[in-house]
Amino acid sequence: MDILTRSQSAKIRSSGTPQIVLKARNVVRRFGGVVALNNLDLDVVEGQILGLIGPNGSGKTTFFNVLTGIYAADEGAISFLEKEITNLPAPQVFRSGIARTFQRARVCLSLSVFDNIVLGDHPRLQQGLVFNLFRRSSFRREYEECVERVRELLEMFAPHLVAKMFEPVETFPMIDRRRIEVCRALFSSPRLLLLDEPSAGMTHEETRLLVDEIVALRTKRHKLSIIIVEHEMDLISRITDRCVVLNFGSKICEGTYDEIASDRNVQEAYLGVEA
Amino acid sequence: MNSISIYRNIFVSVLLGTLFVVAMMMAESQVAVLSLIVLAAVSCIVLQKKGVIRKLGSDFASAEKFANGTIMIGALATAVVFAGDHFILLMLTTVLIYVVACLGLNIQFGYAGMVNFAGAAFFGAGGYAAAVLTMQTGLPHLVVLVIGGLVAVIVGFLLILPVLRTRGHYAAVVTIAFSLLFRTLVEVSPVLGGAQGSPVTGMVIFGWNFNEGYQIAGFDVSFYINYFLFALILTAVTFTIVRRVERSWIGLNMDSIRIDETASACFGMNVARWKVTAFTIGNFFMGIIGAFYAMMLGFIAPNNFTFGDSLIMVSIILLGGIGSIWGIILATGIVIILPEKLQIIQEYRFLIFSLGVILVLLYRPNGLLSRAARTYFPGLLRGAR
Amino acid sequence: MDIGFIGQHLVNGLMQGMIYSLVAVGFTLFFGVLDVIKFSHGDVLMVGVFAGLTAFFGLDALGIENPYILVIAIILFSTALMALLGIVIAKILILPLKGAPPLNILLITLMLGTLLRESVRLFYPNGSNSKAFPAILPTDSFTWGNFSLRLDSVMLFVAGAAVIVGTYTLINRTRLGLAIRAVAQDEETARTMGINFGFIVLFTFALGSAIAAFAGVMNGFYYNEINFSMGLLLGAVGFSAAIIGGLGNLYGAILGGFLFAGLQTLAAAALPFSSSYKDVFAFAVVIALMAWRPTGLIAEKAYARV
């Protein structure tokens, strides 16, 4: 199966071989008797947006959780940038360059925008007790650097939030919380971004805005690959290069949006038609 | 011009606050005490309604060093006024002791979200360390204080595995069980004096004997002034460290863990490391101040470290407002002083206290002074904007 | 070690285990339907014992002397009153706090416990002193060698077992129990199936509190001494028992209760230090068990929801 879109193939032909950043092979995860992921194979190509779709309970979020180290895989292997990351603890997966958002915008509501975003690059901050508590002028330098970096990031993705950087997130509407969550995930400059239902809890109009922003994101971060889990087919059709469709934990189809949309298996999975 | 009005506001409110505390301490008759309480309650409500409290809050925040210094002077002035009075100085020092212990607990519970219903046990661990060390060895008392803190930390390490592995209710049972265990252990252990308790030597630092009073210009100064002053220093140091924890990446990490452990781990955080840090720092403060408390009383017994005392510590934090340092100081003052002054409720103190906590939790779950949003460098914020 | 010594400890351990299990069952029931820990449970037990004592004084004043009538009246009065108290607590404190942080609920109920304890100490006549609980059960005993088993112990144990079996049957074999289990599984679904959620919660609290009162009265008859602070330790032990068994699980509560009593008995009878360390030993084992099995021996089947 051709995993590259036409425009991408053209790009790669001119610049060299396509690099597969994430490679998952035969990933299995069971919960009691339920097989949530069944021998899943999945590749992500550098710079591409991969849509991960399927009915409720088909294993999309479970895949994210296995990938990021929240759940352990029962079988299979995952490698990222040629490095084995299967069943590493969550912090180490993050350090290898994978950042994510969550289904229900898990930002810290009582903390400020700055606090939330700065948490997104936790490993790069100096964490020593002495540094934090007693070398306050050094700490202050690092802090001011961070303020600058957060400001730059916000200016790029959510300029209207710059002036409100020190206000608690709970004062903002859902779409801003999503933006803050995406900024948190981008703050460490990851190589792979996992977006888990970014449209959940938002209006149609807000979703449209967010899509535009994600599209714009590609032009700003060329090397960033994205996996997006979504139910809004509109969104999927507009931004993905390639889609993988899951049903009952198994991959039933893979291809461009147009290809999967016309696939009989996919239609059956969604409409529940007997084969 | 604007800043002058800020300084004036701070000065006036600290002055009024100090005068109120002095008046409260001086009030002998129950009528006077009750009127003072009503006065305070009514003026707080009126000022809150008129927005004055909020204005004052922002004034205090914008000139923090000045405010803290003024409050410190207010505390010293109060001590001078009551320099001859054993009972009042003892009461004020007890408030400071509870403040330090609760600030320690606040790092665990208020920041990292780790429930600890064994606060009094760690406090007691420090106290018993002081009893053994001052009675059996000639170690300098400053060293005894530090060892008291370390003993509490070591005792805490016994619990670290279950505390790290459990969450929610299950974590609560670990510390509740430990609290009951500790109390029973010291009660039945002959080495530690059993139910009768154990005597502790009064504090002596570099020849400065805390248990000796003074005569200044023919005026008798209570020896408790030594303990008060030293407790004030300990409080200031603890206050500073807890503030710095809050205003650093460490405080941010702890907040993040409290709010969402899984998300924190997904951003590279070593959750266990920060839980251990919070638990250790908190227990250290509780142990140090427990050792100090034991040396001040000259005597400790299992009854000083019951589960009920742990509950009071947790309640102070909730009453003050979780994570709010000034809230804790205010709540400690109320919880310690009110029953002492209001003799009519002395007998009913636990009853009223528990009722009060229930009401606050039901109707003001954020406590008396809820925690303000984090500013890493107050004053800098405006510039950063 | 002779047979009488072992037998005595065995009987004692079984009685303790039965009392602890009954308390733990309450914790587990409340947690099942509402996901809350009601820490005032032990103090409800204590209030129940004092209610029973009051009933005894009342009947005594009326000149009723038949021990069976007295016992039954004491139990009925105490359990009925505590069922009522359970409903009131659920209605006023627990239900309105649904959705509040679990820690707040834990604290409120801890404080409620203090409130009940202090109320009895202050307002019950001479409440701050220990009181003798009437020994009205028959004390005939069966003797084998130097081991004697008293009839009242047997009666209490059988009654306790009957209560546990009854509760088990109620939860697992009746429509009402089915509704309770449905609510415990999934409140939303249970509501849409037409189950009256509020009623189920109130009923569960009434049931749990009545069982606690029964455990308290049993404790009173067995030791013949009660005091205002007995609920704190019994509550903590019951809570620990429910937790080491695994919250929300009836078997777990019973297992935990007998396990805790077993540990205490073992410490008192067989370990080389003084029997006053028995609580220290039992709580230390509880803490160690928590480190080993962080969600109880019969683990909750829950995965972190992300």
Assign 3-class secondary structure to A91-128: HHHHHCCEEECCCCCCCCCCCEHHHHHHHCCHHHCCCC
Task: Give the model confidence (pLDDT) of B66-121 as tens digits.
Answer: 899 999 999 999 999 998 888 999 999 999 999 999 999 999 999 999 989 999 99
Question: Between A90, A118, A136, which is nearest B265 by CB?
Answer: A90
Q: For residue C91, give the amino acid letter.
A: K
Stretch among B142-146, C20-24, C183-187, C224-228 having the lowest mean pLDDT = C183-187
Specify whether B70 is located in the same domain as B105: no
Angle at B127 between CA B123 and CA B129, to 5 degrees: 120
Separation between Cα atoms, residue A93 and residue A191, nearest integer Å? 12
Domain closes at, from B32, B62, B81: B81
Q: Are B107 and B166 within one domain?
A: yes
Q: Are residues B95 and B73 in the same domain?
A: no
> Is residue C304 over pLDDT 80?
no
From A272's Cα to the closest Cα of chain B, the distance in A is 34
Rg (CA), chain C: 19
Cβ distance C306 to A70 less than 8 Å, yes or no, reads yes
Span B131-146, pLDDT tens digits: 999 988 888 889 999 9
Q: Which of B36, B56, B81 delimits the end of a domain?
A: B81
Report pLDDT digits (tens) over C117-133: 999 999 998 888 888 88
Q: Are residues B30 and B164 in the same domain?
A: no
pLDDT at residue A3, as a whole number = 54
B98 with B144, same domain: the answer is yes
Closest CA to B236 of B195, B276, B285: B285
Contacts of B267 in chain A (CB under 8 A): 91, 94, 99, 119-122, 184, 188
Q: 3-state DSSP call for residue C303?
A: coil
Q: For residues B145 and B294, state if they share a domain.
A: yes
CB contact under 8 A, A115 and B255: yes
pLDDT average, residue stretch A64-82: 90
Query: What pLDDT score was predicted for residue B326?
Result: 93
Q: Whose CA is closest to C231, among C49, C12, C16, C25?
A: C49
Residue B323 belongs to domain spanning: 86-384
pTM value?
Answer: 0.88
Segment among B245-254, B316-325, C241-250 with least mean pLDDT: C241-250
Tally of domains within chain B: 2
pLDDT band at C301 (very low <50, low <70, confident <90, very high): very low
Stretch 235-274 of chain B: residues touching chain A, C-beta under 8 Å? 241, 244-245, 248-250, 252-253, 255-256, 259-260, 262-270
Task: Say if B300 is an interface residue toward chain C (CB within 8 Å).
Answer: no
Are residues B130 and B26 part of one domain? no
Chains A, B: CB pairs < 8 Å? 102
- Single residue among B38, B53, B81 that ends a domain in this structure: B81
φ/ψ (deg, to 5) at A15: -110, 0
Give which of B263, B259, C301 is closest to A196, Cα–Cα.
B263
Which chain B residues touch C288 with a CB distance below 8 Å? 162
Instruction: For chain B, say whether C305 makes contact (Cβ under 8 Å).
Output: no
In our burial notation (b when 16+ CB lie closer than 10 A, e otherwise), range C66-97 reads eeeebbebbbebbbebbbebbbebbeebbbeb
Same domain (yes/no): B111, B57: no
- The whole-angstrom distance between A61's CA and the closest CA on chain C is 8
Q: Which of A123-132, B220-229, B240-249, C1-10 has the highest mean pLDDT?
A: B240-249
Using an 8 Å CB-CB cutoff, list chain C residues near B159. Answer: 287
CB C86 within 8 A of CB C206: yes
d(CA B331, CA A24): 55
Q: In the predicted model, what is the mean pLDDT of residues B27-54?
A: 88
Residues B60 and B146 in one domain: no
State the alpha helices, DSSP H only, in A73-203.
Answer: 90-95, 113-119, 129-133, 136-157, 174-186
Assigned CATH for A6-97+190-271: 3.40.50.300
C-alpha distances (whole Å) from B278 to each of B97, B254, B366 are: 20, 8, 22
Q: Are residues B40 and B103 in the same domain?
A: no
Given an 8 Å threshold on Cβ–Cβ distance, is B259 in contact with A108? yes
Q: Mark yes or no for CB contact B266/A133 under 8 Å.
A: no
Which carries the bigger pLDDT value, residue B262 or residue B169? B262
Identify all chain A residues contacting C303, using CB atoms and an 8 Å cutoff: 31, 71
The 10 Å CB-count burial string (b at 16+, else e) for A18-35 is: bebbbebeebbbeeeeeb
Q: Is residue C37 within 8 angstroms of chain B, CB to CB?
A: yes
What phi and psi, each to the nearest 5 degrees, are found at residue A22?
A: -120, 135
| Whether C62 contacts chain A with CB within 8 A | no
Per the CB < 8 A criterion, the answer to whether A80 and A192 are in contact is yes
Neighbours of chain C (3+ CB pairs under 8 A): A, B
Distance from CA of A125 to the nearest CA of B (A): 8
Provide the chain A residues 47-66 that lie in CB contact (below 8 A) with chain C. 61, 64-65
Same domain, B65 and B187: no
Tell me if chain A has a CB within 8 Å of the CB of B277: yes
Residues B316, B275 share a domain: yes
**Could you report the per-residue pLDDT of C233-283, keeping only the tens digit for each?**
899 899 889 888 887 788 889 999 999 999 888 888 877 666 678 888 888
- Residue B211's domain is classified under what CATH number? 1.10.3470
Predicted ipTM > 0.90: no
Number of residues written out for chain C: 306
**CB-based contact C306 A31, cutoff 8 Å:** no
Write the CB contacts of C236 (distance below 8 Å, at least 6 apart in sequence): B176, B177, B180, B307, C42
Residues of chain B contacting C286 with CB distance shorter than 8 Å: 173, 177
Closest to A133 (Cβ–Cβ): which among B245, B263, B381?
Answer: B245
Q: Would an 8 Å CB–CB cutoff place C101 in contact with chain A?
A: no
pLDDT digits (tens, 9 = 90+) for A1-50: 455 555 555 454 445 567 888 988 999 998 878 888 888 899 999 888 99
* Cβ distance of C287 and B166 shorter than 8 Å: no
